[in-house]
A and B are shown apart, each in its own frame.
Chain A
Amino acid sequence: MLLTDLIRHAVGATGTHVGCEHGVCGACTVQIDGEPVRACLTLAAQAEKLDIRTVEGLEPRPGELSPLQAAFREHFALQCGFCTAGILMSLDALFARKPKASEREIREQLSGHLCRCTGYAPIVKAALAAQAHVREEKTTDA
């Protein structure tokens, strides 16, 4: 069984989407132990005992968007939203690993994702804004 089928149809977490089942579009990206992974190229068995995080895990509390999600809404970085879950999981993993990722690095991360609606520019903007917001928050906290 594919990890996507397990997540979507056995667990019922349908926020992770399947766009190509051959690892190109990136819509199915989830985090396994913090690393972004194409769930469509992963067998469910390979993820045994590992920590899987999906888009359903991004909200701090039900009804409250994370800074990254909020930035996507503010910058109109999604239209149909089908590819969005994968992009969010990918950027979230990048920022966890590299809070000060450059625009170049953000673009490189995004280049593993296909979006047919937005033309990408608003996604880049949202990612940069979310990053700035998180950094600001961290500075304030400290």
Chain B
Amino acid sequence: MTINPSADRWVGRSVPRVEDAALLTGRARFIDDLPTATNTLDAAIVRSPHAHAEIRRVDVDAALASEGVVAVVTGDDVKRLTRSMTVGVKANVECWPIATDRVRYVGEPVAIVLATDRYLAEDAAERVGVDYDILPAVVDPVAALGDEAPVLHPSLGSNLINERRFSYGDPDNAFAAAPHRIGVDIAYPRNSCTPIETYGVVAHYDPGEDAYEILANFQGPFSIHAVVARALKVPGNRMRLKTPPSSGGSYGIKQGVFPYMILMGVAARIAGRPVKWIEDRIEHLAASVSATNRATKLEAAVEADGRITALAWDQIEDCGAHLRAPEPATLYRMHGNMTGAYAIANVSIRNRIVLTNKTPTGLNRGFGGPQVYYPLERLMQTIARTLKLDPIEVIRRNLVPSDAFPYRTATGALLDSGDYGTALGRAIAEGGYAALVERRKTARAEGRVYGIGLAAAVEPSVSNMGYITTVLTPEEREKAGPKNGAQATATVAVDPLGSVSVKVASVPQGQGHRTVLAQVVADALGLDPGSVSVIADVDTGRDAWSIASGNYSSRFAPAVAGAAKLAADRLREKLKHVAAGQLNTVPDDIAFEGGRIASRANPDNSVSFSRVAAAAHWAPGTLPEVVDQTIRETVFWTPDELAAPNADDEINSSLCHGFIFDFCGVEIDASTGETRIDRYVTMHDCGTILHPAMVEGQVRGGFAHAVGAALLEEYAYGADGSFQSGTLADYLIPTVMEVPEPVILHHETPSPFTPLGAKGVGEGNCMSTPVCIANAIADAIDAESVTLPLTPSKILGLIAGEEPQAKNPPRKIEPAGPSGQRKLTGEGAAEVAATREEVWKMLLDPQTLDAIIPGSHGVRRISDTHFAADVTLGVGPVKGRYKADIELFDLDEPNAVTLRGKTVGALGFGEGEGRITLTDIGSGRTRIAYTYEAGVGGKVASVGGRLLDGAARVVIGQFFKALANHAGGGASGAGFLARLKALVGGGS
């Protein structure tokens, strides 16, 4: 750290967090910890197993008849009671929070079952019958634009929901004049920062006032409040939204809870009782929100020395099945800074937004940054490689010059402050770049695979609420009216005992806002931060808030903490007048320190802070004329710099622009393809640092997400739209073993546009790090093109020099067995107290089979040797209902029989064959021996092999145990039961 905190200020010091005591002792209150009204119902959601299908029929009768069920809500109900959610572009398309006539992604809600407890709700959800007519699906954004592609929304006519072209400067001439035209072609994958706490909603509806009250672990932006109120067809003041005191991480994702606010609001209305829903992890992975995936072609007009004179962007943004608010914000958040950290005067941009059969997208840490910086910084490396230049020089020659700030970019951003050249120089010197180059040389001389990567980025923060309207044409904007600004609010209040409270609408999810606000206000009022109390969760019915409220676009330090400072300053000015009267001096002579207010000239002449502050409560008549009250100051702050997009489509999309320069060294294990990050250096300019340890925490946290994005994480979809990363065993998140410790450096240039000089810092590494690591890997293996995530198998493929990857490679499903299924085999035996003939009869009797098949809901005889069954099977976390079809072959009564079966269900399919042999072991007892071979496919096959094998053994074991019990008990499981016990007992 390079910070030298000022001794007389709390801001700038790493004070312990006030949040931590509750979090460390289990006393913190997250949404699922809060008490609910006693008549609250639990909701379970029935979701689509198909990526694209027409809904023929939803049969809720069986579910309604189930124990504890009060109501079942379907798409028709939601359509009747709400209106389609607002879509951010002009397009003839509806956007519902639940499927109405058609499902468009795996996991899309189809029905909501409301019951007296969650167990009953989930059981009943399995009894909702949905008939689908499956349609062809499209998952690739480029393919979605093809003439042959299935169209998701017939009213749109195609999957292209918006296209805009922009031109700034004179890109055509610049390209014509430049000696080099160098480009990259990128498919950026989908990923998600997956908070460990999932979504939660508790909804009330009061028919007397036609009012909704909804508690949700929503994070903002509160512009979404308007979307929800409109959808629920109530005025804003009848849609009271509250957030819980604690929220278990978000990283943007919890913005996406809002469709469930609408659904649970409707559910509460239909049921006439409050409704609670806590999302489970499987639902979260399949159907919350993720970042967008994007196909980008980026070209640069380049001079011989590596200087770029023009950029041409062609971006195809994949927002999934619906364009949900605030999308297409991912695509437009970076619009002002599409030139990154570089001074490039000429830019053309073609933006297309497409819909595909994948989950709708939303906020995710870095929001739009990774999708832009990956192409841009891969391009910088490609330019260096093509022109045989030092990549550092290519970056350095293009940086915005240090004397140019505030700097207006070609696309309209006003880069507030910076000294990029110096920051880069310091990173190289202090981060040990030269030593790293030596290290690479040595490693390569030893035959090891080692590479260095670089990345520079501008990290935008404090979003302009008007940037999204850049997607509209200037004419459309003219009609709709301007949108701009970023209202931040803060209230500082004094109670009758003179202690100070702060209230903001920042809705933190772990960032420590309360600690920093206490520091900021303590500084202004000369108090100890421990004496300042802070509330940061929101109740829209009571608090000061606006559309920009919430926790996103790294706006806390620059905007919210700044607003709190302004409110505290305003109170301070008033208190000066009150104190001057009490101390017989003038306001300018008043100082605040150590919980007292004193005369500067005569410090002995002092009075306690609380005595002065409380005067407005107890003796308002004693306040001087110029002071109205000192009880509560609320500040609304919005920066003038955040204007609406102008007629030339120039937009200052964010108020602040931090600078990041990263470099790293990676070593690849040539035999496994595994990447080891040897050294990672990250230089930040986030303006004034308010709390060094929290800034480090933000950098490290973003870095860890980025390591995951670079090496592990991808929301994988099959060609049919099936979702293939549906558990945390499939969607791999970095653990302590995969995240190295980065070297963090700072070069502070305070922002002139924020009250405290601070800029955002929470998202930068999500923008710079994935491409920095990719550049290092490309350098290590001398690859021209690399696609994230760079998993060992992908790297091995690149090293082995397989044919170059297609531009937008369709994702291959790795077959786990020869037939593309995961293979399971096993054998076992059981002894039962029955003769062979008796056992034989049982095996051919549907009633007996129904009684002994684990999870059976009924067995039907089709012929003497052919049965159909309805069963519920669980494999690890993947539990579902299946239709099974079983035929018997090679009957050798009463000695042996072969069973051949097929199962089909929402979560997958399976087929298998087993041979059962019956041996008379005397005393009327029979030994049943069995062998089986089975294959499974679909979602259930994505579960780890060990789990599957174990589950198969357990299920088959249960079958024979039940058979033994049915035959009169006395089963002795030989080795099998012992194994079964081991499995159940040693499950962790």
Question: B-contacting residues of A (Cβ < 8 Å)?
Answer: 1, 8, 13-25, 27, 37-38, 41-42, 54-56, 58-59, 63, 65, 69, 72-74, 76, 78-85, 88, 107, 110-124
B247 CB to closest chain A CB (Å) equals 7
A81 touches B728 (CB 8 A): no
Interfacial residues of chain B within 233-257, with CB under 8 A of chain A in the complex:
246-249, 251
Which residue in B16, B24, B700 is a CB contact (below 8 Å) of A81? B24
With A14-B32, A55-B26, A115-B196 given, is the CB distance from A79 to B512 under 8 Å? Answer: yes
**Closest Cβ of chain A: how far from B940's Cβ, in Å?**
13
B728 in contact with A24 (CB, 8 Å):
yes
* Residues of B with C-beta under 8 A to A21: 280-281, 877
Contact B704 A119 (CB under 8 A): yes
A45 to chain B, nearest CB (A): 12
List 7 tightest A-B contacts by C-beta distance, closest first: A15-B26, A80-B510, A82-B248, A81-B23, A119-B700, A22-B877, A14-B33
Residue from A55, A65, A118, A124 within 8 A of B701 (CB atoms): A118
**Interface contact A20-B197, CB-CB below 8 Å:** no
Q: Which of B23, B24, B282 has the most CB of A within 10 A?
A: B24
Q: Evaluate contact between B988 and A41: CB separation under 8 angstroms.
A: yes
Chain B residues in contact with chain A, CB under 8 A? Answer: 14, 16-17, 19-30, 32-33, 119, 193-198, 246-249, 251, 280-282, 509-512, 693-694, 696-697, 700-701, 703-705, 727-729, 733, 735-737, 739, 741, 876-877, 987-988
Please classify the interface of chain B as helix (H, G, I), strand (E, B), loop, or mixed, using the class held by over half of its residues. loop
Instruction: List B contacts of A107 (CB < 8 A).
Output: 736-737
Q: Which residues of A contact B30 (CB under 8 A)?
A: 14, 17, 82
Q: B701 touching A15 by the CB < 8 A rule?
A: no
Instruction: List the B residue with the shortest CB-CB distance to A22.
Output: B877
Question: How far is B16's CA from A9's CA once the two chains are assembled, in angstroms?
Answer: 31
B511: chain A residues within 8 A (beta carbon) = 79
Q: Kindly list chain A residues whose C-beta atoms are within 8 Å of the C-beta of B733.
A: 114, 116
Beta-carbon contact of B701 and A73 below 8 Å: no
- With the chains together, A21 CA to B735 CA distance in Å? 18
- Give the one of B25, B197, B251 with max A CB within 10 A: B25
Choice from A37, A54, A81 contacting B20 with Cβ under 8 Å: A81
Contact of A111 among B196, B509, B735 (CB under 8 A): B735
Contact present for A81 and B28 (CB under 8 Å): yes
Q: Hey, which chain A residues are within 8 Å of B14, CB to CB?
A: 76
With most chain B CB atoms within 10 A of its CB, the pick from A25, A54, A117 is: A117
Q: A69 to chain B: which residues have CB within 8 Å?
A: 24-25
Q: Is the CB of A20 within 8 A of B281?
A: yes
Within the complex, which residue of B16, B197, B510 is in contact with A17, where a contact is CB–CB below 8 Å? Answer: B197
Q: B945 to chain A: closest CB distance in Å?
A: 15
> Is B24 a contact of A80 with CB atoms below 8 Å?
no
Residues on B with beta carbons closer than 8 Å to the beta carbon of A76: 14, 17, 693-694, 696-697
CB distance from A22 to the nearest CB of B (A): 3
The answer to whether B25 touches A80, judged by C-beta atoms less than 8 angstroms apart, is no
Can you list 15 residue pairs at the A/B interface with Cβ under 8 Å? A8-B33, A20-B728, A22-B728, A25-B728, A42-B988, A58-B25, A65-B25, A79-B512, A80-B249, A81-B246, A83-B196, A84-B23, A114-B733, A116-B251, A121-B700
Q: Are A80 and B197 in contact (CB under 8 A)?
A: yes
B249 in complex: contacting residue of A41, A79, A123, CB < 8 Å: A79
What is the chain A residue whose CB lies nearest that of B510? A80
Residues of B within 8 A of A80 (CB): 23, 195-197, 246-249, 509-510
A-side contacts of B249, CB under 8 Å = 79-80, 82, 116-117
Q: Report yes or no: B25 in contact with A55, Cβ–Cβ below 8 A.
A: yes
Q: Are B26 and A117 in contact (CB under 8 A)?
A: no
Report if A116-B24 is in contact (Cβ < 8 Å); known contacts: A22-B727, A24-B728. Answer: no
Q: Which residues of B contact A119 (CB under 8 A)?
A: 697, 700-701, 703-704, 739
Is the pair B739, A78 in contact by a Cβ cutoff of 8 Å?
no
Beyond A22-B281, A80-B197, list 17 extra A-B contacts (CB 8 Å): A8-B32, A13-B26, A14-B26, A20-B281, A21-B280, A22-B728, A24-B729, A27-B196, A65-B21, A72-B24, A76-B693, A80-B196, A82-B196, A82-B248, A111-B735, A118-B704, A120-B736
Which of A14, A73, A110, A116 interacts with B196 by CB under 8 Å?
Answer: A116
A25 to B24, CA, bound (A): 18
The answer to whether B248 and A81 have CB atoms under 8 Å apart is yes
Task: State whether A120 and B196 are in contact (beta carbons under 8 Å apart), knowing that A25-B728, A69-B25, A76-B693 are contacts in the complex.
Answer: no
- In the bound complex, CA of A107 to CA of B734 (Å): 13
* Closest Cβ–Cβ distance, residue A24 to chain B (whole Å): 4
How far in angstroms is the closest Cβ of chain A from B421? 29
Contact for B697 among A23, A72, A118, CB less than 8 A:
A118
Bound form: Cα–Cα A59–B26 in Å = 10
| B26 x A54 contact (CB < 8 A) | yes
Q: Known contacts A79-B249, A81-B20; is A22 also within 8 Å of B26 by CB? A: no
A78-B20 in contact (CB<8A): yes
Cβ distance B171 to chain A, nearest Cβ, rounded Å: 40
- In the bound assembly, the distance between CA atoms of A73 and B22 in angstroms comes to 11
Contact B197 A117 (CB under 8 A): no
**Chain A contacts for B988, CB-based, 8 A:** 23, 37-38, 41-42
Instruction: Determine the chain A residues whose CB is within 8 A of the CB of B694 once the complex forms.
Output: 76
Chain A residues contacting B27 (CB-CB under 8 Å) are 15
| A73 adjacent to B736 (CB under 8 Å) | no
What residues of chain B lie closer than 8 Å to A25, measured between beta carbons? 196, 281, 728
Q: A17, B17: Cβ atoms under 8 Å? A: no
Least CB distance from B968 to A in Å reads 26
A8 to B124, CA, bound (A): 23
The reply to whether A81 and B510 form a contact with Cβ atoms under 8 Å apart is yes
Residues of A within 8 A of B32 (CB): 8, 14, 18
